Amino acid sequence: MDKRDVVIVGAGHGGAQAAIALRQLGFVGSIAVIGNEPELPYERPPLSKEYFAGDKTFERILIRPAAFWAERHVDMLLSTEVTAVDAKAKRLSFANGGRLDYGALIWATGGTPRKLTCSGHDLKGVHAVRTRADVLKMMDELPAVTQVVIIGGGYIGLEAAAVLRKFGKRVVLLEALDRVLARVAGPELSRFYEAEHRAHGVDLRTSVRVECIEEKDGRVTGVRLAGGEIVTADMVIVGIGIIPAVEPLIAAGAQGSNGVTVDEFCRTSLPDVYAIGDCAAHANGFADGATIRLESVQNANDQATTAAKAITGNLEPYTAAPWFWSNQYALKLQTVGLSIGFDRTVLRGDSATRSFSVVYLKNGHVIALDCVNAVKDYVQGKKLVETRAEIDLKLLADAAKPLKELTLPAS
Ligand SMILES: Cc1cc2nc3c(=O)[nH]c(=O)nc-3n(C[C@H](O)[C@H](O)[C@H](O)COP(=O)(O)OP(=O)(O)OC[C@H]3O[C@@H](n4cnc5c(N)ncnc54)[C@H](O)[C@@H]3O)c2cc1C
Protein backbone atom coordinates (compact mmCIF):
# COMPACT_ATOMS: atom_id res chain seq x y z
CA MET A 1 0.00 0.00 0.00
CA ASP A 2 1.24 3.45 -0.96
CA LYS A 3 1.98 5.64 2.04
CA ARG A 4 3.06 9.22 2.89
CA ASP A 5 4.35 10.38 6.26
CA VAL A 6 1.94 13.30 6.19
CA VAL A 7 -1.17 13.41 4.06
CA ILE A 8 -3.06 16.68 3.80
CA VAL A 9 -6.64 16.49 2.55
CA GLY A 10 -7.74 19.75 0.94
CA ALA A 11 -5.55 21.76 -1.44
CA GLY A 12 -6.79 25.18 -0.32
CA HIS A 13 -5.36 27.85 1.95
CA GLY A 14 -4.88 25.65 5.00
CA GLY A 15 -3.64 22.59 3.10
CA ALA A 16 -1.06 24.59 1.14
CA GLN A 17 0.21 26.41 4.21
CA ALA A 18 0.48 23.16 6.19
CA ALA A 19 2.82 21.71 3.54
CA ILE A 20 4.81 24.97 3.38
CA ALA A 21 5.13 25.12 7.18
CA LEU A 22 6.22 21.47 7.45
CA ARG A 23 9.10 22.07 5.03
CA GLN A 24 10.00 25.38 6.70
CA LEU A 25 10.19 23.52 10.01
CA GLY A 26 12.67 21.10 8.48
CA PHE A 27 10.32 18.15 8.06
CA VAL A 28 12.02 15.75 5.64
CA GLY A 29 9.36 13.02 5.45
CA SER A 30 7.07 12.48 2.47
CA ILE A 31 4.07 14.80 2.05
CA ALA A 32 1.02 14.46 -0.20
CA VAL A 33 -1.69 17.08 -0.63
CA ILE A 34 -4.98 15.73 -1.96
CA GLY A 35 -7.49 18.12 -3.48
CA ASN A 36 -10.79 17.50 -5.24
CA GLU A 37 -10.44 20.59 -7.43
CA PRO A 38 -8.31 20.32 -10.57
CA GLU A 39 -6.14 23.35 -9.70
CA LEU A 40 -3.04 23.78 -7.58
CA PRO A 41 -3.83 25.68 -4.36
CA TYR A 42 -5.06 29.19 -5.10
CA GLU A 43 -6.30 32.15 -3.07
CA ARG A 44 -10.05 32.11 -2.55
CA PRO A 45 -10.69 35.77 -1.53
CA PRO A 46 -10.10 37.13 -5.08
CA LEU A 47 -12.96 34.91 -6.34
CA SER A 48 -15.43 37.59 -5.24
CA LYS A 49 -13.01 40.47 -5.82
CA GLU A 50 -10.10 40.93 -8.28
CA TYR A 51 -10.39 37.59 -10.09
CA PHE A 52 -14.15 37.93 -10.59
CA ALA A 53 -13.61 41.53 -11.71
CA GLY A 54 -11.02 40.41 -14.25
CA ASP A 55 -8.30 42.47 -12.54
CA LYS A 56 -6.13 39.45 -11.70
CA THR A 57 -5.34 36.38 -13.77
CA PHE A 58 -5.57 32.90 -12.30
CA GLU A 59 -1.77 32.58 -12.31
CA ARG A 60 -1.57 35.61 -10.04
CA ILE A 61 -3.82 34.03 -7.44
CA LEU A 62 -1.96 30.73 -7.19
CA ILE A 63 -0.63 30.38 -3.64
CA ARG A 64 2.69 29.11 -5.07
CA PRO A 65 3.78 28.29 -8.65
CA ALA A 66 3.88 24.62 -9.69
CA ALA A 67 7.68 24.46 -9.43
CA PHE A 68 7.56 25.37 -5.74
CA TRP A 69 5.74 22.14 -4.85
CA ALA A 70 8.00 19.99 -7.01
CA GLU A 71 11.17 21.53 -5.55
CA ARG A 72 9.96 20.82 -2.02
CA HIS A 73 8.87 17.28 -2.86
CA VAL A 74 5.24 17.89 -2.04
CA ASP A 75 3.09 15.51 -4.10
CA MET A 76 -0.09 17.14 -5.37
CA LEU A 77 -2.89 14.66 -6.02
CA LEU A 78 -5.52 16.85 -7.66
CA SER A 79 -9.05 16.07 -8.89
CA THR A 80 -9.07 13.44 -6.15
CA GLU A 81 -11.90 13.24 -3.61
CA VAL A 82 -11.29 11.53 -0.28
CA THR A 83 -14.44 9.61 0.58
CA ALA A 84 -13.46 7.58 3.64
CA VAL A 85 -10.95 7.51 6.46
CA ASP A 86 -9.99 4.34 8.29
CA ALA A 87 -8.51 5.79 11.47
CA LYS A 88 -7.29 2.40 12.74
CA ALA A 89 -5.50 1.35 9.57
CA LYS A 90 -4.55 5.02 8.94
CA ARG A 91 -5.83 4.67 5.39
CA LEU A 92 -7.74 6.98 3.06
CA SER A 93 -10.06 5.87 0.26
CA PHE A 94 -10.73 7.97 -2.82
CA ALA A 95 -13.80 8.30 -5.03
CA ASN A 96 -11.69 7.04 -7.96
CA GLY A 97 -11.00 3.77 -6.13
CA GLY A 98 -7.49 4.72 -5.01
CA ARG A 99 -6.13 4.42 -1.49
CA LEU A 100 -3.32 5.97 0.46
CA ASP A 101 -1.94 5.33 3.93
CA TYR A 102 -0.79 8.12 6.21
CA GLY A 103 1.49 8.56 9.18
CA ALA A 104 -0.24 11.79 10.18
CA LEU A 105 -3.32 13.28 8.54
CA ILE A 106 -4.22 16.96 8.27
CA TRP A 107 -7.86 17.52 7.34
CA ALA A 108 -8.17 20.91 5.58
CA THR A 109 -11.30 20.55 3.50
CA GLY A 110 -13.04 23.90 4.04
CA GLY A 111 -16.73 23.73 3.30
CA THR A 112 -19.32 23.51 0.58
CA PRO A 113 -21.70 26.41 -0.06
CA ARG A 114 -25.00 26.11 1.77
CA LYS A 115 -27.80 25.71 -0.76
CA LEU A 116 -31.26 27.20 -0.67
CA THR A 117 -33.80 24.61 0.36
CA CYS A 118 -36.65 26.01 -1.78
CA SER A 119 -37.63 24.81 -5.23
CA GLY A 120 -35.41 26.00 -8.05
CA HIS A 121 -32.22 26.06 -5.99
CA ASP A 122 -30.36 23.94 -8.55
CA LEU A 123 -31.56 25.61 -11.76
CA LYS A 124 -29.19 26.75 -14.48
CA GLY A 125 -28.10 30.29 -13.68
CA VAL A 126 -28.09 29.75 -9.89
CA HIS A 127 -24.52 30.04 -8.59
CA ALA A 128 -22.39 29.81 -5.49
CA VAL A 129 -18.97 31.51 -5.14
CA ARG A 130 -16.54 29.05 -3.61
CA THR A 131 -14.28 27.73 -6.34
CA ARG A 132 -12.59 28.91 -9.51
CA ALA A 133 -15.03 26.70 -11.44
CA ASP A 134 -17.96 28.59 -9.88
CA VAL A 135 -16.55 31.91 -11.04
CA LEU A 136 -15.72 30.66 -14.54
CA LYS A 137 -19.33 29.51 -14.93
CA MET A 138 -20.62 32.94 -13.91
CA MET A 139 -18.16 34.76 -16.18
CA ASP A 140 -19.30 32.60 -19.06
CA GLU A 141 -22.94 33.55 -18.54
CA LEU A 142 -22.47 37.22 -17.65
CA PRO A 143 -22.45 38.71 -21.18
CA ALA A 144 -26.08 37.60 -21.60
CA VAL A 145 -27.13 38.78 -18.13
CA THR A 146 -28.89 42.07 -17.38
CA GLN A 147 -30.11 41.62 -13.82
CA VAL A 148 -28.56 39.55 -11.03
CA VAL A 149 -30.27 38.72 -7.75
CA ILE A 150 -27.86 38.05 -4.90
CA ILE A 151 -29.28 36.12 -1.98
CA GLY A 152 -27.37 36.81 1.23
CA GLY A 153 -25.88 40.05 2.54
CA GLY A 154 -22.64 38.65 3.94
CA TYR A 155 -19.18 39.62 2.71
CA ILE A 156 -19.28 37.40 -0.37
CA GLY A 157 -22.69 38.66 -1.52
CA LEU A 158 -21.70 42.28 -0.98
CA GLU A 159 -18.36 41.89 -2.76
CA ALA A 160 -20.04 40.18 -5.71
CA ALA A 161 -22.57 43.03 -5.83
CA ALA A 162 -19.75 45.59 -6.03
CA VAL A 163 -18.07 43.74 -8.92
CA LEU A 164 -21.33 43.33 -10.81
CA ARG A 165 -22.09 47.04 -10.50
CA LYS A 166 -18.65 47.70 -11.96
CA PHE A 167 -19.72 45.55 -14.93
CA GLY A 168 -22.87 47.68 -15.22
CA LYS A 169 -25.26 44.87 -14.27
CA ARG A 170 -28.47 45.63 -12.42
CA VAL A 171 -28.20 44.10 -8.96
CA VAL A 172 -30.85 43.25 -6.40
CA LEU A 173 -29.48 42.02 -3.07
CA LEU A 174 -31.83 40.18 -0.73
CA GLU A 175 -31.00 39.70 2.95
CA ALA A 176 -33.27 37.70 5.28
CA LEU A 177 -32.22 39.52 8.46
CA ASP A 178 -32.89 43.19 9.19
CA ARG A 179 -29.37 44.26 8.22
CA VAL A 180 -26.45 43.05 6.12
CA LEU A 181 -23.33 41.60 7.83
CA ALA A 182 -25.47 40.87 10.90
CA ARG A 183 -23.45 37.75 11.81
CA VAL A 184 -20.09 39.50 11.81
CA ALA A 185 -20.47 43.23 12.53
CA GLY A 186 -22.43 45.79 14.49
CA PRO A 187 -25.29 47.90 13.16
CA GLU A 188 -23.12 50.97 12.39
CA LEU A 189 -21.06 49.02 9.88
CA SER A 190 -24.15 47.31 8.42
CA ARG A 191 -25.91 50.63 7.87
CA PHE A 192 -22.78 52.14 6.31
CA TYR A 193 -22.42 49.31 3.79
CA GLU A 194 -26.14 49.28 3.00
CA ALA A 195 -25.97 53.01 2.19
CA GLU A 196 -22.81 52.57 0.09
CA HIS A 197 -24.35 49.81 -1.99
CA ARG A 198 -27.55 51.76 -2.51
CA ALA A 199 -25.49 54.81 -3.53
CA HIS A 200 -23.83 52.56 -6.14
CA GLY A 201 -27.22 51.57 -7.50
CA VAL A 202 -27.80 48.22 -5.77
CA ASP A 203 -31.44 47.54 -4.94
CA LEU A 204 -30.61 46.27 -1.46
CA ARG A 205 -33.49 44.84 0.55
CA THR A 206 -33.39 43.53 4.12
CA SER A 207 -35.90 41.39 6.10
CA VAL A 208 -36.84 39.63 2.87
CA ARG A 209 -37.85 35.98 2.66
CA VAL A 210 -37.24 34.03 -0.52
CA GLU A 211 -40.00 31.58 -1.36
CA CYS A 212 -38.61 29.92 -4.49
CA ILE A 213 -36.65 30.42 -7.69
CA GLU A 214 -38.75 30.80 -10.84
CA GLU A 215 -37.72 29.19 -14.12
CA LYS A 216 -38.32 28.80 -17.80
CA ASP A 217 -36.95 25.78 -19.66
CA GLY A 218 -34.74 24.88 -16.71
CA ARG A 219 -33.12 28.30 -16.40
CA VAL A 220 -33.71 30.88 -13.68
CA THR A 221 -36.02 33.77 -14.56
CA GLY A 222 -36.67 35.29 -11.17
CA VAL A 223 -36.90 35.00 -7.41
CA ARG A 224 -40.31 34.79 -5.78
CA LEU A 225 -40.51 36.48 -2.39
CA ALA A 226 -42.86 35.72 0.48
CA GLY A 227 -45.82 37.94 -0.31
CA GLY A 228 -45.76 36.99 -3.98
CA GLU A 229 -43.50 39.57 -5.63
CA ILE A 230 -41.26 38.10 -8.31
CA VAL A 231 -37.91 39.82 -8.75
CA THR A 232 -36.65 39.28 -12.29
CA ALA A 233 -33.26 37.56 -12.52
CA ASP A 234 -31.10 36.27 -15.38
CA MET A 235 -28.66 35.03 -12.76
CA VAL A 236 -28.89 34.29 -9.05
CA ILE A 237 -25.88 34.21 -6.71
CA VAL A 238 -26.42 32.48 -3.39
CA GLY A 239 -24.08 33.50 -0.57
CA ILE A 240 -25.62 32.09 2.59
CA GLY A 241 -22.67 30.42 4.25
CA ILE A 242 -20.95 27.06 4.08
CA ILE A 243 -21.34 23.59 5.51
CA PRO A 244 -17.99 22.24 6.72
CA ALA A 245 -16.80 19.31 4.60
CA VAL A 246 -16.20 16.86 7.41
CA GLU A 247 -18.41 13.85 6.66
CA PRO A 248 -15.65 11.27 6.04
CA LEU A 249 -13.87 12.28 9.22
CA ILE A 250 -17.02 12.25 11.38
CA ALA A 251 -17.94 8.87 9.86
CA ALA A 252 -14.49 7.66 10.95
CA GLY A 253 -15.36 8.55 14.53
CA ALA A 254 -13.95 12.07 14.95
CA GLN A 255 -15.81 14.24 17.41
CA GLY A 256 -17.72 17.18 16.01
CA SER A 257 -20.90 18.25 14.30
CA ASN A 258 -20.63 21.77 12.86
CA GLY A 259 -17.00 21.08 11.96
CA VAL A 260 -14.47 18.68 13.43
CA THR A 261 -13.62 19.46 17.04
CA VAL A 262 -9.94 20.18 17.64
CA ASP A 263 -7.87 21.10 20.68
CA GLU A 264 -5.45 24.04 20.90
CA PHE A 265 -2.89 22.09 18.86
CA CYS A 266 -5.44 21.35 16.10
CA ARG A 267 -5.61 17.68 17.12
CA THR A 268 -8.91 15.89 16.50
CA SER A 269 -10.12 13.06 18.75
CA LEU A 270 -8.59 10.53 16.31
CA PRO A 271 -4.93 9.52 16.71
CA ASP A 272 -2.51 11.51 14.49
CA VAL A 273 -5.38 13.30 12.79
CA TYR A 274 -5.41 17.11 12.76
CA ALA A 275 -7.99 19.51 11.36
CA ILE A 276 -7.48 23.13 10.34
CA GLY A 277 -9.20 26.07 8.70
CA ASP A 278 -12.88 26.55 7.91
CA CYS A 279 -13.74 22.96 8.90
CA ALA A 280 -12.12 23.02 12.36
CA ALA A 281 -14.23 23.84 15.43
CA HIS A 282 -11.95 25.12 18.17
CA ALA A 283 -12.18 26.94 21.49
CA ASN A 284 -11.16 30.50 20.68
CA GLY A 285 -9.88 32.88 23.37
CA PHE A 286 -11.16 35.86 21.38
CA ALA A 287 -14.67 34.42 21.69
CA ASP A 288 -14.38 33.93 25.46
CA GLY A 289 -13.32 30.33 24.87
CA ALA A 290 -16.47 29.40 22.95
CA THR A 291 -16.10 26.62 20.38
CA ILE A 292 -16.38 28.24 16.98
CA ARG A 293 -15.29 27.86 13.39
CA LEU A 294 -13.58 30.80 11.74
CA GLU A 295 -13.76 31.28 8.00
CA SER A 296 -10.70 33.34 7.18
CA VAL A 297 -7.32 33.07 5.53
CA GLN A 298 -5.64 34.07 8.79
CA ASN A 299 -7.25 31.20 10.67
CA ALA A 300 -6.47 28.63 7.94
CA ASN A 301 -2.83 29.72 7.72
CA ASP A 302 -2.19 30.03 11.45
CA GLN A 303 -3.87 26.72 12.28
CA ALA A 304 -1.85 25.09 9.48
CA THR A 305 1.34 26.27 11.17
CA THR A 306 0.07 25.07 14.56
CA ALA A 307 -0.61 21.59 13.15
CA ALA A 308 2.74 21.47 11.34
CA LYS A 309 4.50 22.40 14.57
CA ALA A 310 2.63 19.70 16.50
CA ILE A 311 3.59 17.10 13.90
CA THR A 312 7.24 18.12 14.13
CA GLY A 313 7.17 17.77 17.91
CA ASN A 314 6.84 21.44 18.75
CA LEU A 315 3.51 21.79 20.58
CA GLU A 316 2.49 25.44 20.51
CA PRO A 317 -1.15 26.34 21.16
CA TYR A 318 -3.17 28.29 18.62
CA THR A 319 -3.77 31.73 20.11
CA ALA A 320 -3.60 34.07 17.11
CA ALA A 321 -5.82 37.15 17.00
CA PRO A 322 -8.43 36.76 14.27
CA TRP A 323 -8.26 39.19 11.37
CA PHE A 324 -10.12 39.53 8.10
CA TRP A 325 -10.56 41.94 5.20
CA SER A 326 -13.12 42.81 2.57
CA ASN A 327 -12.86 45.03 -0.52
CA GLN A 328 -15.96 46.65 -1.92
CA TYR A 329 -15.87 49.60 -4.37
CA ALA A 330 -13.10 51.88 -3.03
CA LEU A 331 -13.62 50.65 0.52
CA LYS A 332 -11.02 48.51 2.21
CA LEU A 333 -12.38 47.01 5.38
CA GLN A 334 -9.99 45.38 7.83
CA THR A 335 -11.22 43.74 10.98
CA VAL A 336 -9.32 42.44 13.97
CA GLY A 337 -10.76 40.48 16.88
CA LEU A 338 -14.26 39.07 17.09
CA SER A 339 -17.15 41.38 17.86
CA ILE A 340 -19.43 38.54 19.03
CA GLY A 341 -21.14 39.52 22.28
CA PHE A 342 -20.11 43.21 22.24
CA ASP A 343 -22.13 45.46 24.53
CA ARG A 344 -20.89 48.83 23.31
CA THR A 345 -19.35 50.43 20.24
CA VAL A 346 -17.28 53.56 19.82
CA LEU A 347 -17.01 55.30 16.46
CA ARG A 348 -13.64 56.80 15.53
CA GLY A 349 -13.94 59.30 12.75
CA ASP A 350 -16.85 60.18 10.53
CA SER A 351 -18.34 57.53 8.26
CA ALA A 352 -19.25 60.28 5.76
CA THR A 353 -15.50 60.65 5.03
CA ARG A 354 -15.33 56.91 4.24
CA SER A 355 -12.41 56.56 6.61
CA PHE A 356 -13.42 55.51 10.10
CA SER A 357 -13.33 52.68 12.62
CA VAL A 358 -15.86 51.01 14.86
CA VAL A 359 -14.37 49.79 18.13
CA TYR A 360 -16.28 46.98 19.87
CA LEU A 361 -16.18 46.65 23.65
CA LYS A 362 -17.40 44.09 26.11
CA ASN A 363 -17.52 44.89 29.82
CA GLY A 364 -15.31 47.90 29.10
CA HIS A 365 -12.62 45.93 27.24
CA VAL A 366 -11.75 46.35 23.56
CA ILE A 367 -12.59 43.08 21.78
CA ALA A 368 -12.59 44.02 18.09
CA LEU A 369 -12.23 46.76 15.50
CA ASP A 370 -13.75 47.21 12.07
CA CYS A 371 -11.59 49.70 10.17
CA VAL A 372 -12.80 51.18 6.88
CA ASN A 373 -9.98 52.82 4.91
CA ALA A 374 -8.27 53.26 8.27
CA VAL A 375 -5.20 51.09 8.09
CA LYS A 376 -3.44 52.82 11.00
CA ASP A 377 -6.31 52.02 13.36
CA TYR A 378 -6.24 48.43 12.16
CA VAL A 379 -2.50 48.02 12.71
CA GLN A 380 -2.43 49.82 16.04
CA GLY A 381 -5.76 48.44 17.27
CA LYS A 382 -4.52 44.85 17.11
CA LYS A 383 -2.58 45.35 20.32
CA LEU A 384 -5.68 46.70 22.08
CA VAL A 385 -7.61 43.60 21.06
CA GLU A 386 -4.82 41.23 22.07
CA THR A 387 -4.55 42.83 25.51
CA ARG A 388 -8.31 43.40 25.84
CA ALA A 389 -7.39 46.96 26.76
CA GLU A 390 -9.60 49.11 28.95
CA ILE A 391 -9.54 52.63 27.57
CA ASP A 392 -11.31 55.84 28.38
CA LEU A 393 -14.15 56.01 25.86
CA LYS A 394 -13.64 59.69 25.09
CA LEU A 395 -10.00 59.05 24.19
CA LEU A 396 -11.01 56.08 22.09
CA ALA A 397 -13.50 58.20 20.16
CA ASP A 398 -10.90 60.86 19.38
CA ALA A 399 -9.80 59.89 15.87
CA ALA A 400 -7.00 62.46 15.98
CA LYS A 401 -5.36 60.43 18.73
CA PRO A 402 -3.41 57.43 17.36
CA LEU A 403 -4.49 54.19 19.04
CA LYS A 404 -0.88 53.35 19.90
CA GLU A 405 -0.79 56.38 22.18
CA LEU A 406 -3.73 55.23 24.26
CA THR A 407 -3.12 53.62 27.59
CA LEU A 408 -2.66 49.92 27.26
CA PRO A 409 -3.79 46.92 29.32
CA ALA A 410 -5.29 46.51 32.70
CA SER A 411 -7.05 43.24 32.19
C1 LIG B 1 -15.46 34.12 -2.45
C2 LIG B 1 -14.73 34.10 -1.17
C3 LIG B 1 -14.16 35.27 -0.67
C4 LIG B 1 -13.45 35.24 0.54
N5 LIG B 1 -12.88 36.40 0.99
C6 LIG B 1 -12.11 36.37 2.10
C7 LIG B 1 -11.41 37.53 2.54
O8 LIG B 1 -11.52 38.60 1.96
N9 LIG B 1 -10.61 37.42 3.65
C10 LIG B 1 -10.48 36.24 4.32
O11 LIG B 1 -9.74 36.18 5.32
N12 LIG B 1 -11.15 35.13 3.94
C13 LIG B 1 -11.95 35.17 2.85
N14 LIG B 1 -12.60 34.03 2.44
C15 LIG B 1 -12.52 32.84 3.27
C16 LIG B 1 -11.25 32.06 3.00
O17 LIG B 1 -11.04 31.91 1.62
C18 LIG B 1 -11.38 30.71 3.69
O19 LIG B 1 -11.52 30.94 5.06
C20 LIG B 1 -10.15 29.85 3.41
O21 LIG B 1 -10.09 29.52 2.05
C22 LIG B 1 -10.22 28.59 4.27
O23 LIG B 1 -9.17 27.75 3.95
P24 LIG B 1 -9.34 26.16 4.09
O25 LIG B 1 -8.04 25.58 3.75
O26 LIG B 1 -9.98 25.87 5.39
O27 LIG B 1 -10.42 25.78 2.99
P28 LIG B 1 -10.39 25.97 1.42
O29 LIG B 1 -9.47 27.07 1.02
O30 LIG B 1 -11.81 26.07 1.00
O31 LIG B 1 -9.77 24.61 0.88
C32 LIG B 1 -10.40 23.37 1.05
C33 LIG B 1 -10.15 22.52 -0.17
O34 LIG B 1 -10.47 21.17 0.15
C35 LIG B 1 -11.20 20.60 -0.91
N36 LIG B 1 -11.93 19.43 -0.41
C37 LIG B 1 -13.07 19.41 0.33
N38 LIG B 1 -13.43 18.14 0.62
C39 LIG B 1 -12.49 17.34 0.05
C40 LIG B 1 -12.32 15.94 -0.01
N41 LIG B 1 -13.16 15.09 0.59
N42 LIG B 1 -11.27 15.44 -0.72
C43 LIG B 1 -10.38 16.27 -1.32
N44 LIG B 1 -10.50 17.62 -1.30
C45 LIG B 1 -11.55 18.16 -0.61
C46 LIG B 1 -12.08 21.77 -1.34
O47 LIG B 1 -12.66 21.57 -2.61
C48 LIG B 1 -11.05 22.90 -1.34
O49 LIG B 1 -10.32 22.91 -2.53
C50 LIG B 1 -13.33 34.03 1.25
C51 LIG B 1 -13.91 32.86 0.75
C52 LIG B 1 -14.59 32.89 -0.44
C53 LIG B 1 -15.21 31.61 -0.97
Query: What element of type H or E holds 366?
Result: strand 365-372
Report residues whose beta carbon is within 6 angstroms of any ligand 1 atom. 9-15, 34-37, 44-45, 47-48, 81-82, 108-110, 129-130, 156, 245, 248, 277-279, 295-298, 300, 324-326
Closest ligand 1 atom to 278 CA: 26
What is the C-alpha end-to-end distance of the chain, expressed in Å? 54
Q: Ligand 1 centroid vs 184 CA: distance in angstroms?
A: 18
pTM, full prediction: 0.97
Spacing, Cα 111 to ligand 1 middle (Å):
7
> What pLDDT does residue 407 have?
62
Which pLDDT does position 406 carry in this prediction? 85
- Cα separation of 320 and 252, whole Å? 29
Mean pLDDT by 10 residues, the chain (411 residues): 96 98 98 98 98 97 98 98 98 98 98 96 97 98 98 98 98 98 96 98 98 97 97 98 98 97 98 98 97 98 98 97 97 97 96 97 97 97 96 95 76 44
Helix orientation angle between 297-311 and 13-24, rounded to the nearest 10 degrees: 40
Dihedral sign for Cα 363, 364, 366, 372, please.
positive
Q: How many CB atoms lie under 10 A from the CB of residue 25?
A: 14
Rounded to the nearest angstrom, the distance between the alpha carbon of 75 and the centre of ligand 1 is 20
297 Cα to the center of ligand 1, angstroms: 8
* CA–centroid distance, residue 50 to ligand 1 (Å): 16
Closest approach atom of ligand 1 to CA 16 = 25
